[in-house]
Amino acid sequence: MAGNVLEITEGNFEQEVAKAATPVLIDMWAAWCGPCRMIAPMVEELAGKYQGKIKVGKLNVDEHPQVAGRFRIMNIPTLLLFKGGKEVDRIVGVVPKDELGKRIEKVLV
């Protein structure tokens, strides 16, 4: 994983997401998912662009199905945006990078 992107797990979800002081973007993905591999470079680039303003993490739904189930993840990639420990936005599928940036900007205000 890129230096600016955290690995989110069942074990660190509470600390890294629910109790985060900044907004959090989580990329729900799996190794076998082609569209997940398409969006990964965008997520990593945005992690660098918004470093210090937003925390970015990836959660492998195959390794942590309990978290995926808690958020009713039915399709991947799904990007979840959290603010104050609560889900505030959800993006399902591959979207253009500028659209993802706009959604992040809304959470930062």
The answer to whether 46 is a known catalytic residue is no
Q: What phi and psi values does residue 25 have, to the nearest 5 degrees?
A: -110, 125
- Here the tokens at position 37 are 């591999």
The answer to whether 36 is a known catalytic residue is yes
Which is the catalytic residue, given 6, 8, 36, 67?
36
**Which residue matches tokens 């390794």?**
63
Note every long-range contact of 65-71, with CB atoms under 8 Å and residues 24 or more positions apart, other chains counting.
66/10, 67/8, 67/9, 67/10, 67/13, 68/28, 71/28
Which is the catalytic residue, given 6, 17, 33, 68?
33
Residues annotated catalytic, as ranges: 33, 36
